[in-house]
Structure 1
Amino acid sequence: MLAVALECATARWPVHPLAPGRKSPARNCPACQDGTHTPASCPCLRTGGWCHGFHAATTDTARITARWATRPASGVGVSCGPAQLVVIDIDARTKTLPERDRLWPGIPIHDHVDLTGLANGFHTLAVLAALRGATDPAEDETTMRVRTPSGGLHVWYQAPASPDFQCSTGSGTTRALCWQVDVRAHGGYVVAPGTITNEGTYSRLGTAAPAPLPPWLARELIRTGHTASHTVRIDHAQHRPPAAGGPKPRPREGAARTEGNRDAVAKAMETVLTDVTGCAVAAENMGFSEKLNRAAYTIGGMVAAGHLDQHTAEQTLQAAADYARPRQHKRAQQIIRSGLAAGAQRPMYPGVRS
């Protein structure tokens, strides 16, 4: 386990000990367990202790050697945020399906769609990738993949420093990528390949290093609220489609321009945000400023029409801009504010016919 920890440190992935035979962090000292010490004030961390899990992660080889010399059977956890990693954690366990609107948050699934055979995270992630015309991360041989003892899979990607993508669980109600697929990112950790637990070994598939986070996946994480300042709470009732064969709801007289068509709004936002995040593939000659301004103008019109609030609009646009151009935060901020202000003069009602 010491060799695993040092190998991670060489890759500049901060590590911390896991409880021997388990995938959870090593226990805190008694004062930390009862809440006397917080991560910010804990003296254990300053003296080389491993309290508070990923808060104790380090790449210091001397400290790592000392920790594993004390407890050589401890597994290895990697703190994702400082390592700039986003890990897609796919659960292979078959479970009972939740409500349809919890399978792919924000994507309506009509009642006539047959979900027979859909049983775990491998299935939901494959469908999401297919909807976006992208490679299924579980099949992405260009990046690092780690098989878990339970038959699941960890897909490791390298992410830019900004935005700070956040963790989630596949069954979460405030943010989730899709059912049975967790996200390990800033504020969380992942078990390092080579770690041995009571259930088995975390085994690396192939030799590929973490590849850059695919733009389509970054867009999905932004859309589903996986950024530090943008947490999406989905009103599932609003996204539930009508029953098969039933009449499509029509906007109420006098209310059409305030309610709009939510699916059309989501599609319009995705289109302009995709243009922005797509600029990440090259450092220049991508028309970034023009695309960001167009996105801000479009979304500004949606704010004026009451489809979303100003704060959410700003944070969503900023997260997309920071992903595409992480070193142009202030410039992007100016473009966003100007575009939103201009768009606010012309409310937009996607999907609503006058």
Structure 2
Amino acid sequence: MTSMLEVALACTARGWHVFPCKPKSKIPATRNGFKDASVDEAQVRAWWERSPDANVAIACGPSRLAVLDIDEGPVQSAEELRAWMASAGLPPTYTVRTGRRVDKKTGEPAFGAQLYYEGAIPDVGLWRLAGGSGQVKSLGGYVMAAGSIHPDSGEAYEVISSSTVAFTPEVVRQLKTGEREALKVVAGKKIPDGAGRHHAMTSVAGGLRAKGLDGEAIYEALVPINPAMCEVPISDDDLKAIAYGVARRYPAGETDPEVVIGKAKEPKEPVDWRTRYATSEQFRDVLPPSFLIRDFLEDGSITAIGAPVAQRKSIVVANVIHALLTGEPLFGHFEVLKRPARILYLCPEMGLVDIASRFKKLGLDSYVGESLFIRTMDDPKLSLTELDEELPGALLILDTITRFVEGNQNDAGDMAKFADLNYAIKRRGATLLLLHHAIKGTGGSMTLDNALRGSTELAAFVTCVWSTQLQDIDAPHTTPSNLKCVKQRGFASEPFQVSCDESFRMTMLGTMGAIKTQKQVSSEAALAEILKHSPDMGLLKLRDALKAAGHKRGVKWIAAAKVAAGGTGVTLTG
């Protein structure tokens, strides 16, 4: 028998954000309900370890889902549902039969279904289409996952079509909340099913809350009101959700929440300002950062690598890919803790011939098409919005982001839109690694200000930034590379140097301060020879003497080297 934890993890594997509801209930078990939904495996396991029987709910908005919930219509079986979908112009898609089995109004057997579509839209309160009706749950709603238990029937929600989730069709995007009959609550006349029972009960609950009642007291007061006011009483679970929801959203003594009577309008609920901020539960349950590669690449992060043109940032990334696919430590130093489900390498700045040559030397060709998926400049342009089922659990690498920014990378507004797109991809369960060019003319400086060209919006929204540069730009094929984390979150790293061999494998040499280049050693030897004959020569003359010997060094370097050699390093002239 499948456990609720397995149900939840199967959802997150699809990139669907889940949260727990009380066992055999639609009532959220977390303080903020669907706003707490997550795809983080550790968080999901923690929830269901605390409550193994909790129902699994899917938050539609962050999961990019629009779920068409059909409650009424000419549908009493899976076959009739398929016929109705064809008549309504709805494409085949992943479909779940709800746990509802009996029509409360008639007592007859009932058949409810939920059609999952990819592409979130505003919720629709009551739609009518081809003789059917129901709701669309999307940006502001949630649904119970297949495997969850219906509160009334005790039956499980079940998958009746495991088709690929289709994109939200235009016919669904065009659905609008229909007009209900005018709602008149009068003594002796009960509200029919589908005519606004929940809105009316919410209004009553709001009045009780205004009188200072808490959630439990509101619920107890609504229990006798429910059958007296509703032709088909609201389910006990829904009644509790109304009572406790109103108590949670509105401080005691506040004005009743506004409910529109007459032609249906989407009710606009007041917002408790506290919901804008992190809760104590969120702080309590927060987990330490987890890594794909310890102290280098955080899982679920947006990490950037910046470097001047032609200074090995793509080779650094090739080594990251090698480590994650093989499990070998990055640069022979950084431990691989978790491998992504797949690596998506989008590199529209290089052709397939060049990438294939590099990756074959690294021994990565056997992974292509299995766990490594590559697009190059030889392929048609791909928009990031087209990425879909490949995202959950993936590492997405953009080399470089210049090819994916819509607009001007120097414009804060355009980069803010790019940031939103990255966050949307991250919410789908992907880790992002962004490559970008450094600011031109920065010399050897490795700082956050210099690491990434364009608007500062980029440096602001990424989690971590690595800067890399060749140690000696005059020897690009033999010199080591310097790497420095210029924006660190959740870990600390010292700047270090790596070598690069003919197969493009990079190996850790040590920290930057502990290693001297051949050029530096040569300059120090020349300085020592000059000081041997002229120990009292001033810094300015030493600078000129070194320059004449083919070593261009500044007075600060000369002063430090002179001190290291045993001199004072302070005389400017003489």
Structure (1/2) with the larger strand percentage:
2
- If the length of structure 1 is used for normalisation, what is the TM-score? 0.41
TM-score between both structures, scaled by the size of structure 2: 0.26
Query: Which structure carries more helix by proportion?
Result: 1
- From the CA coordinates, give the structure whose radius of gyration is larger: 2
Higher RCO (CA-CA < 8 Å; seq separation 6+): 1
